[in-house]
Amino acid sequence: MRHVGSRVKRPDDPRVLTGRGRYVDDMVLLRMVHVAFVRSAHAHAHLARVDVDAARRTPDVVGVLDGPAAARLCKPYRGVLLHYKGMKTAAMLPLAMERVRYVGEPIVAVAALSPAAAEDAAERVAVEYAPLPAVLDPEAALAPDSPLIHAELGDNLIYETRLAAGDADGAFAAAHRVYAREFRIGRHTGVPVEPRSLVVDYEPSTRALTLWISSQVPHMMQAVLAELFSLPEQRVRVIAPDVGGSFGIKIHVYQDDMAACALALVLGRPVKWVATRRESFVSDIHAREQTVRVDVAAAADGTLTAMRATITAAVGPYSAYPRSSVVEGGQVLRLLPGPYRLRHYDATLRVVAQNKGITSQYRAVGHPIATAVTESMVELIARDLGLDPAEIRRRNLVRPDELPYTSATGNVFDSGSYHAALETLLAAARYDELRREQRAARAAGRAVGIGLSCFVELTGPGAQFYGIGGAPISGQEGTTVRLEPSGAVTVLTGVTDQGQGTRTALAQIVADELGVPLEAVAVLSGDTGVVPYGGGTWASRGMPIGGSATLLAARALRDRIRRVAAALLEAHEGDVELADGAVHVRGSPARALALGPLARTVWFRSNELPGVEPSLEATVHYTNPGAWTFTNGAHLAVVELDTETGRVAVRKYVAVDDCGKLVNPALVDGQVCGGVAQGIGGALWEHCVYDERGQLLTTTLMDYAVPSAADLPPIEVHHLETPAPSIAGGYKGAGESGTAGAPAAILNAVNDALVPFGVMLAEQPITPERVLRALGRLPRA
């Protein structure tokens, strides 16, 4: 029997009764329905009453789902990674039950024949709230008398840890000077052009569920759906078509996505949901809200000797599933020493629940925070000791002869170009000339600043990131490469494409290995029913893991082609070469065969190849043999402050990045430029602002400022290539380095411009208001 609303269709009746008692034809049942959500208007409240009767009676409504009904379909889930010992969080469900814990949390899902009808019905749902105190500030959340967001957990602390190496106490006691600052980084979010969206269809007779979703991780979603809804995994198919941007926003399991899937199970018909921009702001993953208190010890010559840090990460009421909300803080904890030879370290991390939207992984997870904090301290020390900011870095960067280098936090830098990147940057930007121009500008009364940043970026992780913690997230990647009868090549890959050009880069790898034109290669991805099992796209793993799998698969296919060609051309396999879409025998150009005829022999006339396997297809699965690899880079920004308005104008930006072996420099340029733009946005403008009641105030693009082309100068990009020694293709990944380095360069440039005024900023975003307060033009908040 098929459920529609609260009514049941009789097997002998060709029509179905709707919520209002009207009959509709079976053909209407085949139509896709649209979902609208009733979301919490409070940051923290008991749900005193949820009345959906009026919504059910609304014209064209075919189903209404509340929290208890959704809970009967979907198992509760917790974003806990087992290798984070002592971590705890409450369970989530698709729709809130009894209590809401952030503004925007979904309470009721309504399905109707049109989006407008669904929205109209959602407005007729009556929700009565009994407001509770909103816990917003992480320090207040940890106070003994703080209201508990989840009473069953006993407190609001999700996770706490300490990481220490060397003798920090001894190093601080012996230091020439000790420098201390507290940095505050504001929340922001990804704002992809395409919002989160899905279409889900369920066939009750076979228990087959097909989900088309704007996602980076189709295989993860397949595993999650099968587990949470108790479906056979082989009956769950997830398809991620071309995705209009993601930036890490689309690697998570969201309550509203699960609620839409639950509705499809109830209705047995296609269900569609596309988030509005306001819904995106209140329900998409946020990131970056952290406070870092840091002390750095330095010798008289500027050598960094020790660091202490206390990191507090506020992450919303739940830890995100399945990747958790502790990873960003954990990244900061392990990345604070940066690319420097600092040996003594002692830091703690606290991850705290609060009544704001959930935070989790977003582009360059943790790197922008750690880099901004450390690079700001480096320049503070340089100013105090009378050193040029470039010179103090020369004295502290990891040297080439020290590689592979194990940092104080245990990160192994397997390769890199730390000094070379800095020197390339200084030459490309004409650093000495910029300093002369700056002196002239200051003499003319202008506030011009130059900021540097040097950084490392963790890329291409294997199972050590999530798999060992019990999350259904693959650290390996699979690629199948097949030679078609026409001589064209089909590539099937688990890596997804969000607009970064992955398919183009993979096609280039295959074309180069097989000696075929680029246009002869087609790359298919994002469909769990078609492609090999893989982890998808995150942590800049597309090239290091997916590219390496593709490279090895192409080589395996090349070997198969050579074996077939050796049999057909009566030659030794070692003498067969591939070029220009054909095979030929080395030294005998007349003995050649185009790939099309060769493939047709294998696929259609395999009897001509006795003793040779009739296959021109190869599949390879690849994982990083280490924990991860590291990209590195150096950036420079020039800014000018308007001391009357507080506005920061970015005048020049130069980036040098070393992402290992380059496949397509133009694509890498695009990734770096986009990452820099996103990093500048976070440094200067982007901010998810909440009021004292936990209401998000920045829910439109009128309020949440993303950078436009008019706000940015041309971004000059230079490349170094230091292949990753442990990665098959030598690739390191390029998707996040721009975002990692940009906030630090901008913050340092602003503080350099503020030097004549004797003040320093340690908050992001660097809004005009904050600049004016630093200058004493506005009263302190």
Strand-pair category, 45-51 with 208-213? unpaired
CA-nearest of 113, 120, 37 to 267 is 113
The confidence score (pLDDT) of residue 463 equals 87
Query: What's the rounded Cα separation, in Å, for the pair 430 and 428?
Result: 6
The confidence score (pLDDT) of residue 17 equals 33
DSSP letter (8 states) at residue 704: S
Query: What's the rounded Cα separation, in Å, for the pair 248 and 65?
Result: 29
User: Could you read off the pLDDT of 604-639 as tens digits, one per residue?
Assistant: 999 999 999 999 999 999 999 988 999 999 999 999
* Model confidence, pTM: 0.95
The confidence score (pLDDT) of residue 530 equals 97
514 vs 16, residue with greater confidence: 514
Dump the DSSP string for 189-237: E---SSPPEEEEEEETTTTEEEEEE--S-HHHHHHHHHHHTT--GGGEE
User: Could you read off the pLDDT of 91-130 as tens digits, one per residue?
Assistant: 999 999 999 999 999 999 999 999 999 999 999 999 999 9
Query: What's the rounded Cα separation, in Å, for the pair 292 and 350?
Result: 11
DSSP letter (8 states) at residue 543: I
CA-nearest of 629, 722, 630, 635 to 422 is 635
Query: What's the rounded Cα separation, in Å, for the pair 639 and 745?
Result: 10
User: Could you read off the pLDDT of 186-234 as tens digits, one per residue?
Assistant: 999 999 999 999 999 999 999 999 999 999 999 999 999 999 999 999 9
Lowest mean pLDDT among 13-22, 608-617, 634-643, 733-742: 13-22
* pLDDT-based confidence at residue 6 (cuts at 50, 70, 90): very low
Q: What phi and psi values does residue 715 have, to the nearest 5 degrees?
A: -100, 115
Which residue has 């990452």 as its token pair? 675
Question: If you average pLDDT over every residue of the chain, what do you get?
Answer: 95
User: Could you read off the pLDDT of 344-402 as tens digits, one per residue?
Assistant: 999 999 999 999 999 999 999 999 999 999 999 999 999 999 999 999 999 999 999 99
User: Could you read off the pLDDT of 243-264 as tens digits, one per residue?
Assistant: 999 999 999 999 999 999 999 9
Rounded to an integer, the average pLDDT of 631-649 is 98
* pLDDT-based confidence at residue 427 (cuts at 50, 70, 90): very high
Residue 519's CB is within 10 A of a number of other CB atoms, namely: 9
Amino acid at 227: E
The confidence score (pLDDT) of residue 780 equals 77
CA-nearest of 46, 9, 29, 527 to 269 is 29
Is the pLDDT assigned to residue 451 strictly greater than 90?
A: yes
